[in-house]
Amino acid sequence: MVDPEQKIMADHHVTDLTTDWSPLPGCLDQPETPVPLTRRQLRLWQLTLEARGFPVRTEQTANGWQILVPAETFEEAIFELQQYQRENHGWPPPLPPPIQLIDNRLTTLWVLIAIGLFHNLTMRQGLPFTSALIDWTAIGNAHAGKILDGEWWRLITALTLHSSGLHFLSNLVFGGVFIMRLCRLLGSGLGWSLTLASGIGGNLANAWLQAANHRAVGASTAVFGAVGLLAAISMIRYRHNLRPQRRWALPLAAGAGLLAMLGTGGENTDLGAHLWGFVCGLLIGAAVEVLRERRERNRAWLGWLSGSASIALVIAAWYVALG
């Protein structure tokens, strides 16, 4: 097999036998000290010089690899490499310290089970141990006109209702993946509360923009809010590493791709709710990640407080709706 470095030398060998070649020092700050080049440094310097129009050769010595340039361009090549090092000093930046994931999968699983039990309750059209009939969808759906008339609880209750078992199962499976990841990053309390906030914001924006008779149910608004939260957190957390060539938008593009693939199909799909849930998730996630960086650590009490507040808010919304 041909060594890749030998292939490089063959590809860029200049056949002018009269040229006087001079080896570049491995350490530009101490050109008198013979320091061999690493393979990564060899490729990088060679590409840099070739991009500036310098003829180069590479060869392997007993101590390692070295780059040679024509003697008349030696000083200029040194200057170009020094300028390149100054312009790229400290790049790429180091990755942010890894965040220890919280092992709360069991907690998230219990929450998903509780949501499933409530779905079964709403399918019965009544309350346990009573003969009263309740049209859960009628009193809890996201009716745009009624929301704008002040029935705020519909922003929340609509997220807990589903039109069918298949509708519920699709949100449970798809949403469970992203919400579980979000809860491992932020904690169960904060993860669920931000998902709920994104869903509420998405329903409110959708009600504002839709016709007054528009109705919707389903947790998918909050699910796409969780997708937006994860995209924004990744975009802010790794923004220094994603900066070149506008790669900072990659997490955003990934989230938008999921929205396009999974949030636009189906005859009864509420694209507006999905879109605004995703947008609200982006905005909330970016704000939370910036605040987290400034505080440098998560506070346990914040997770308990936000989680308890979310549970209380859902119960209060249904209490008002049933009253």
In a domain? residue 217: yes
Terminal-residue alpha carbon distance, the chain: 80
Confidence grade of residue 35 (pLDDT, cut at 50, 70, 90): low
DSSP letters of 222-274? HHHHHHHHHHHHHHHHTTTTSTGGGGGGHHHHHHHHHHHHHSS-STT--HHHH
Q: Is the pLDDT of residue 54 over 70?
A: yes
pLDDT at 21: 80
Based on the domain organization, do 57 and 168 belong to the same domain? no
pLDDT of 183 > 60? The answer is yes
Q: Do residues 177 and 298 both lie within one domain?
A: yes
Token pair 């059209």: residue? 125
Per the CB < 8 A criterion, the answer to whether 66 and 26 are in contact is yes
Show Cβ contacts of residue 251 under 8 Å, excluding neighbours closer than 6 positions. 230, 231, 232, 234, 235, 238, 242
Residue ending a domain, among 34, 54, 87, is 87
Domain count, the chain: 2
Structural domain for 311, as ranges = 105-322
Q: What is the mean pLDDT of residues 7-24?
A: 57
Asked if residue 98 belongs to a domain, the reply is: no
- Residue 54 to residue 44: CA distance in whole angstroms: 14
**Per-residue pLDDT for 58 more than 50?**
yes
In a domain, 100, yes or no: no
Q: What's residue 249's pLDDT?
A: 58
Buried b (16+ CB within 10 A) or exposed e, 134-153: bebbebbbbbbebbeeebeb
Residues 221, 289, single domain; the answer is yes
Best CA proximity match to 201, nearest among 108, 116, 275, 287: 275
- Provide mean pLDDT across the span 213-225: 90
pLDDT score for 289? 87
Which pair of tokens denotes residue 253?
Answer: 């593009």
Give the mean pLDDT of the chain.
79
229 close to 202: Cβ distance less than 8 angstroms: no
Same domain, 295 and 215: yes
Q: What are the E-state strand segments in the chain?
A: 21-23, 57-60, 65-70
- Structural domain contains residue 260: yes
Number of other residues whose CB lies within 10 A of the CB of residue 220? 25
Integer Cα distance of 156 and 311 in angstroms: 11
Same domain, 25 and 148: no
pLDDT tens digits for 239-269?
Answer: 765 555 455 555 566 666 666 665 555 556 7
Residue 194 pLDDT > 50, yes or no?
A: yes
Q: What is the CATH number of the domain that holds 241?
A: 1.20.1540.10
Last residue of a domain, one of 37, 61, 87: 87
The answer to the question of residue 307 being in a domain is: yes
Q: Are residues 154 and 271 in the same domain?
A: yes
Beta-carbon neighbour count of residue 42 at 10 Å?
20
Q: State whether 131 and 61 are in the same domain.
A: no
**Stretch 290-306: mean pLDDT, rounded?**
76
- What residues contact residue 296 under an 8 Å CB cut-off, 6+ apart? none
Average pLDDT over residues 173-191: 87
Q: Is residue 42 part of a domain?
A: yes
Distance CA 7, CA 4 (A): 5
The 10 Å Cβ neighbour count of residue 319 is 10
- Are 172 and 312 contained in the same domain? yes
Burial status of residue 221 (CB atoms within 10 A of its CB: 0-12, 13-18, 19 or more): buried
Clarify whether residues 126 and 205 are in a common domain. yes
Q: Which of 4-18, 87-101, 278-292, 301-315 has the lowest mean pLDDT?
A: 4-18
Whether the predicted pLDDT of 37 surpasses 60: yes
For residue 36, cis peptide bond before it (omega within 30 degrees of 0): no
Q: How confident is the model at residue 206, as a pLDDT? A: 93
Residues 121, 54 within the same domain: no
Give the range among 36-50, 154-168, 203-217 with minimum mean pLDDT: 36-50
Residue 10 resides in a domain: yes
With vertex at residue 224, the alpha carbon angle to CA 220 and CA 226, rounded to the nearest 5 degrees, is 115
145 lies in the same domain as 284: yes
